[in-house]
């Protein structure tokens, strides 16, 4: 799927772009659908012919009609099956690809997205909204088939009676037009329902992430009250939309029923007058019943298209949030370890060295780390003397890995959480690499204490693991990427001093000769760094080794010692996990 649809200014234009992108698969399902519809449209005609053949006592004509009916049934069965398969594949591919694009854009947009949308809303957009838009691919072939069916039946009914032909010609558009009057109100009500559901999902997601905090401050009842109130809003908006939808479904029965009654009454009169045969009446009845297809499909189209437009509007709003980073240029990444220069702060990262970044404001150190990994384009970063935006983003991320301060574990096994790149061959070599990374991160006992070891299933967000355990496992995962440049933001903030000492010693040895950047205030980590850069107001004001900066006289030394002292106090206060 391309990306031109993201520039659409309207939800209808966005859906139209999606249809054009998958035009080949769409035309295939339309072809199967046309064969299915035409075989159904011809069935009443052949059935009426068979009945008249019985009435006239013509056995050969009856056998011919029965053969034609058998052929129609086979054609209808095969084409219907192929149409369903092709349409459903189009629906699945569109839904999954659209969900993937929302997820990829969410990753690229970063903080710009979270400022505009809650996490729960983005999840709803990538799943439910993507599926509602995808249903257009299931509907479109049947819509074309319904129009074709209406045209064929109208022509055949004109052949039998001008009055019935006129009835078939005007009944379908009149019925669909009457139902279309409900589109506007239904659009508004469904849009309100989607908004309320997104807010509820965001509220639930926030609560799930902060449940321990809520319990700690006694805020559970307050949250429950808010969640109940919001869920009631969702229920009320759903009832309002459902009420209007029920009128559409009722009309779907009313209009075709009225058409069948009129055609049957008119045809019966023609039979009594001797102008029609019994076969003609059966054929006309079959045609009138067959008009259920275009009318019911029209009702479904109103429902599906209304929901799709609402959902497409939400998807488009997410995709049009400007991303913090873009795909980049086509320059080849450096073939050898190269220097990184963050122009905003003045930080130079020498290749093959362990560099620590200490900041008076910890957010400044984290911002430098994010710029080095190109998660933020607020300032220029040169890699081997070339602006990072000149490198393809995927290639750059393969070489420069940033592990954030907040550790995350995902649903799955511990093994799938650690070996995310699947870059190591199976067997002893892979097991040795994983064991080494786990050892460096002081996480061996975490895995050994689980009955199933690396096969242990991780629940949502790794809630069965403590904060320190999640941090150590996340560090092992970062080490397993075998990144040329590894950037770690506060990798030991949640562990006790003994474990931190182990990690500091092992990390320095494991990354010897590899470019590593630590955004940290921990003296245990700082003493292993070849270069320590001190940031004040986001700018590098001093560089040196840890012991040198500790002994630095004047304002610089005082400033550095105050930051390191803060790091020592934080380490003493860290929980022993």
At 205 the pLDDT is 60
Cα(287)–Cα(283) distance, rounded to whole angstroms? 6
d(CA 80, CA 564): 72
Look at phi and psi of residue 110 and say left if phi exceeds 0, alpha if psi is from -120 to 50, else beta: left
End-to-end C-alpha distance for the chain, whole angstroms: 47
Say which DSSP state 126 is in.
Answer: I
More reliable by pLDDT, 133 or 464:
133
Question: Quick one: DSSP state of residue 10?
Answer: S
The whole-number average pLDDT for the span 84-103 is 87
pLDDT digits (tens, 9 = 90+) for 200-222: 766 666 555 554 444 445 445 66
Domains of the chain by start residue, with CATH: 11-319 (1.20.1560.10), 340-573 (3.40.50.300)
- Confidence at 365, pLDDT banded by 50, 70, 90: very high
Helix (H/G/I), strand (E/B), else coil: 577: coil
The 3-state DSSP class for residue 466 equals coil
Element (H, E) at 16: helix 11-21
Structure tokens at 403: 């592990």
Q: Does this model's pTM top 0.85?
A: no
Cross-strand pairs, 412: 458
Check whether 52 has a pLDDT greater than 70: yes
Task: Give the separation between CA 577 and CA 260, rounded to whole angstroms.
Answer: 75
pLDDT (tens digit per residue) in 537-548:
999 999 999 999
Q: What is the 3-state secondary structure (H, E, C) of 103-122?
A: HHHHHHHCHHHHHHCCHHHH
What is the C-alpha separation between 203 and 226, in angstroms, rounded? 9
């Amino acid at each position: 799927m391309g990306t031109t649809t993201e520039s659409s200014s309207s939800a209808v234009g966005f859906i139209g772009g999606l249809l054009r992108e998958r035009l080949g698969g769409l035309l295939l399902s339309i072809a199967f659908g046309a064969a299915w519809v035409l075989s159904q449209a011809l069935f009443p005609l052949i059935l009426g012919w068979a009945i008249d053949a019985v009435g006239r006592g013509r056995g050969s004509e009856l056998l011919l009609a029965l053969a034609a009916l058998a052929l129609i049934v086979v054609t209808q069965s095969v084409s219907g099956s192929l149409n369903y398969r092709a349409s459903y594949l189009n629906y699945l591919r569109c839904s999954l690809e659209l969900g993937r694009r929302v997820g990829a854009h969410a990753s690229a947009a970063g903080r710009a997205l979270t400022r505009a949308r809650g996490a729960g809303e983005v999840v709803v957009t990538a799943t439910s909204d993507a599926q509602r838009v995808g249903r257009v691919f299931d509907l479109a072939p049947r819509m074309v088939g319904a129009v074709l069916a209406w045209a064929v039946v109208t022509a055949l009914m004109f052949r039998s009676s001008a009055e019935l032909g006129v009835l078939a010609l005007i009944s379908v558009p009149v019925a669909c037009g009457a139902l279309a009057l409900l589109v506007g109100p239904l659009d508004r009500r469904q849009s309100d329902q989607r908004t309320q559901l997104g807010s509820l999902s965001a509220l639930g997601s926030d609560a799930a992430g902060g449940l321990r905090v809520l319990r700690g401050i006694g805020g559970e009842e307050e949250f429950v009250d808010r969640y109940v109130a919001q869920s009631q809003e969702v229920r009320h908006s759903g009832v309002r939309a459902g009420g209007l939808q029920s009128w559409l479904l009722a009309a779907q029965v009313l209009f075709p029923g009225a058409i069948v009654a009129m055609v049957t009454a008119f045809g019966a009169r023609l039979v009594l007058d001797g102008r029609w045969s019994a076969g003609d009446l059966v054929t006309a009845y079959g045609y009138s019943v067959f008009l259920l297809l275009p009318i019911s499909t029209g009702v479904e189209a109103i429902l599906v298209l209304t929901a799709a437009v609402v959902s497409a509007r939400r998807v488009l709003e997410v995709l049009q949030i400007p991303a913090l980073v873009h795909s980049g240029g086509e320059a080849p990444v450096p073939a050898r370890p190269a220097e990184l220069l963050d122009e905003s702060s003045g930080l130079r990262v020498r290749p093959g060295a362990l560099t620590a970044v200490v900041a008076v404001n910890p957010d400044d150190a984290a911002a430098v780390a994010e710029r080095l990994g190109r998660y933020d384009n607020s300032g220029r970063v040169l890699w081997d003397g070339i602006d990072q935006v000149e490198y393809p983003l995927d290639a750059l991320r393969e070489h420069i890995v940033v592990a954030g301060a907040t550790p995350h574990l995902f649903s799955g096994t511990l093994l799938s959480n650690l070996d995310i790149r699947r870059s190591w061959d199976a067997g002893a070599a892979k097991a040795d690499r994983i064991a080494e990374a786990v050892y460096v991160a002081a996480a061996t006992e975490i895995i050994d204490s689980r009955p199933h070891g690396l096969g242990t299933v991780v629940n949502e967000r790794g809630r069965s693991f403590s904060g320190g355990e999640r941090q150590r496992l996340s560090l092992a995962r970062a080490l397993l990427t075998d990144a040329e440049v590894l950037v770690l933001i506060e990798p030991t903030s949640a562990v006790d001093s003994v474990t931190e000492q182990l990690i500091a010693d092992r990390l320095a040895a494991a990354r010897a000769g590899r470019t590593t950047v630590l955004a940290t205030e921990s003296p245990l980590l700082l003493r292993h760094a070849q270069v320590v850069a001190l940031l004040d107001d986001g700018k590098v004001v001093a560089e040196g080794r840890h012991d040198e900066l500790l002994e630095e006289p004047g304002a610089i030394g005082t400033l550095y010692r105050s930051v390191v002292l803060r790091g020592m106090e934080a380490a003493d206060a860290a929980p022993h996990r």
